[in-house]
Structure formats: structure tokens, C-alpha cells
Structure 1
């Protein structure tokens, strides 16, 4: 298993010891654990997803170990913003917390969390694909994930949007394949992750811009985004965030995410 010893400083997590977890992203076991845990279903047979039971259990143990520093995986995107997932492990509770921040804000923008007290969704489909595709130009030199497929899958648990297109599962399937899940398992798993099978379609939350804040809000009852992200930041900061969540001018971020080459 990859070493994740580099410390990470997030001021709002001053009471926790954080370490960079991006080194784990090269392992298919990480993605299987991440997605199954956030789905709340660990009953699947890892072998069916091309991951050995031993690798799966070892990854699960590391990501839930309360005696180890908390792994955090980061997704820097347009305008100097960063989305991230923190594996917050206490002795009696494990939660994966998703947030977005900017160094000029002085606060966090909560997207949601998966665990005993789950909250979400935190991203629309358009936002998810835009953020995944918005890789900083510094590429491999960035602090965080640079692969659009990895970025998409990390934040996928925060997706909730009635406007998610029927073909969204194809984008997710290609991302899974790029991250090491076999083709046949990826197609099946992707459908489960985005609920795109016709019989499983449910009315999802809607996203709208209202009032004088340019950042979209969510209609879902348990979404932190019933109010704008990082409520209280300046109008200029909110506009910069809204632009970044729209892809900062990218014409078609979905194409970039979907291309596994």
C-alpha cells in the first residue's frame, strides 16, 4: 500500500492530524472502498471488481483506522479553489467529509458527508464534471489529484441532481476503467452509482440560483447547499466560486472527463 506520510494543513481541521492520501489513488482497492463505503454497502465481493479480498480489507483498515492520521484527498480547480474528502476517523465513528475552500475565505464550504450522519448532495452533475475537468495547468506539480477520472470518482458520492443525463453512467464507467476496475464490472457498478437504470430512476434534487448570490443552491432537505457554499464570503468571492463550478469557461468538461486516453 502506498505511503501517505506527507502532512496536510487545513486550518479548519487544526485539531486533527491530516496526511495526503493521493498516493492511494493509484490502487483500484482505494476506489472500490471509497465508493462502496460512501454508498453504505460493504457486502459486495471485491473479486467481482478485480480487487482481491486481502487488498480490499487492507485498504478498508487503513482508511478507517482511528489511530492513524486522517487521509485527505484534494481536488484543486479553477480560481484557486480546492475540493477535498477527509477520512475523519474517531474511536467510535468514521465519516468521510467533503468540502471546498479557498485560501482567501477563512472558512469552509461544506458539500456533505457520508457516515452515521450523512448529508448531501453537494454537487450537481454539471458542477461535478466541471470540477473534475478543471485541472490546474501545473499538472503533475499540483498538490492533489490531477487525473480527471480520479477527481470525478472522488467527488462522485456528492452527486445528486435530477438533471443528471441518462448517459452519465458511461462517463463514470470510463472513469472506473481508468482507475483499474475491469470493463464488465465498471459498467454494472457505474449504473449503480448514478442510479441510471430506468427502473431505479428516482426524482432527484434540483439546483437553482436565487436571490443575489450567484452560487446555486440545492432543493434536497439534507443538503448543506440549501444555502450558498461558504455563506458570508464576499460577492466577488462568491462570483469566482460560481464561475469555477461552471467550469471557468470550458466548453464541454464532460468530454474531458470521459476520455480515458
Structure 2
């Protein structure tokens, strides 16, 4: 059953459907990372995924005649990150953004496709979002699935040493062959280039980090135009910093 998803600030003339059910299929995860970060023409069997199932998934995700699949990652404070497979007749993209129902706008992370834009997340935010599911909220709750869904938005000059193992573990838990996850994770993360890879800094009066890449929507603070309390709430939800501030408050345990 296709459950409609309504995003008031998104395209008015497109039909969106919840697609979290695809997350049970390893073919989806292989298609997702190869369509957004790799070569979708690779042989699926090398990753332990059935070739026919993989090709069917690629066709479904890019079918302009079907409602657009939407996968959601709910996180702290009522925020949600979205991945939308936006399939126009002449172009297909995967669009990533965050939303809060009180904003009246979207916060764009980036997109993968002909008009690619990004990165949209540093490593620390990606890992925090993966592990901060909102109980009872609609969308993905599994940390590995949440990490892989948002992985195409990662861009970071100084990835920590555990990044490769974290991504490889997520791939394995999502059904990719354990014999191939190390190689695939390395290919997805790429070779580090500290001189040119994006850096993230908090500057000025906005608590949300901005990105040094000129291709990133986050050259400006995410969801620019929301109120100062909303920006602080989003920064806290992206990083978990509220917990740390409370812990350091005078008189706290």
C-alpha cells in the first residue's frame, strides 16, 4: 500500500509516497549508495545482491511514471530529514532536506544527480542523526539504515579513523555481503584530501555550522530565515549539543 506523504513546502504538483518499506531489501541499499555515490552499472552480485532484484530496484527508484519515493529520518525536537527520489520525465535526482512543521520552509542539504549539490552534513552530524531516532515518529528508526540513507550528503576534510568501520558495519547490517563491505565503504568515502575537502565551522551569530565548499547549500546556515530559537533548536538536534550545555550548567550534577 502506497501511503501518501505531504510536504507543504515541496513541489505542489508531485505525488509523494512513503518508501521506508524498501529498507528491508538489500537491493535498495546497494542501489541507493551506487546511484548517489558510485557507479550504478556495477555488478550487484559482487556485493551479495541478486542482479535481477537490483535492476528492478534501480528502475523503480527512477520511474517517472510512479509516485516519488520518500524516506524519512526523524530526529530530535520534531525535526525530520528527508530523501526524495525526484523523477521528472527528463531528469532524476535524489534530494535531501530537513524540515520542521513550525518553519514554513525547508532546509536544503543538497542533492545527487545532474545538478548535484553538497555536501550537506559533516561526520559528527551524520553519526548523531543516525543514532537519534524519535520514538514513535514516522520514518526509519534503525541506526544503520539512517546512516546509509544520509551518507551521500557527507563531506568532511578530517574523517575520524572509525569512519570506514562504521560505514562498513552499516552496509553489512543492511544486507551487503560481509566480504565486500570494506571495499565498498572505502570507495564510498573516497581518498582523503585535507587540502581540498570541505571544512565546517560555526561563525557569527548563528549556531549552525556552515560548509567551506562552494557547491554546498550549507555555505549559508541551514534553513536560513527561521527564528533564532528555531536555529538553536536545530543546531542542538543536529549535534546533541543541548545535552552538553545542560551538563555544564552551574549547579548541575
Q: By the TM > 0.5 criterion, same fold? A: yes
- 1:211 — aligned with what? 204
List structure 1 runs of 4+ shifted beyond 3 angstroms: 248-251
Out of 236, 240, 248, the residue aligned to residue 247 of structure 1 is 240
Alignment CA distance shift 1:28-1:250 (3 Å): farther
1:96 aligns with 2:94: yes
Q: CA deviation at 1:166?
A: 2.6
1:160 aligns with 2:155: yes
Out of 1, 6, 10, the residue aligned to residue 7 of structure 2 is 10
Q: Deviations over 1:3-25 (max 9, x none)?
A: 5x010001122221000010000
Query: Equivalent residues in 2 for 1:192-203 (5 A)?
Result: 192-195=187-190, 200-203=191-194
Structure 1 residue runs without a partner (length 5+): 252-261
Q: Deviations over 1:159-203 (max 9, x none)?
A: 0011211320100011011100111111111111112xxxx2222
Return the alpha-carbon distance in structure 2 between the equivalents of residues 142 and 101 of structure 1: 14
Return the alpha-carbon distance in structure 1 between the equivalents of residues 29 and 95 of structure 2: 16
Cα RMSD (Å): 1.2
Q: Determine if contact 1:109/1:230 at 8 Å carries over to the other structure.
A: yes
Structure 2 residue runs without a partner (length 5+): 245-253
Q: Determine if contact 1:77/1:135 at 8 Å carries over to the other structure.
A: yes
Query: Equivalent residues in 2 for 1:9-48 (5 A)?
Result: 9-13=6-10, 14-48=12-46
Q: CA deviation at 1:153?
A: 0.2
Out of 206, 210, 222, the residue aligned to residue 229 of structure 1 is 222
Q: Determine if contact 2:38/2:188 at 8 Å carries over to the other structure.
A: no
Q: Determine if contact 1:82/1:102 at 8 Å carries over to the other structure.
A: yes
Q: TM-score, normalised by structure 2?
A: 0.93
Q: Determine if contact 1:131/1:247 at 8 Å carries over to the other structure.
A: no
- 1:176 — aligned with what? 171
Return the alpha-carbon distance in structure 2 between the equivalents of residues 166 and 44 of structure 1: 27
Q: CA deviation at 1:148?
A: 0.4
Alignment CA distance shift 1:61-1:173 (3 Å): same
- 2:248 — aligned with what? none
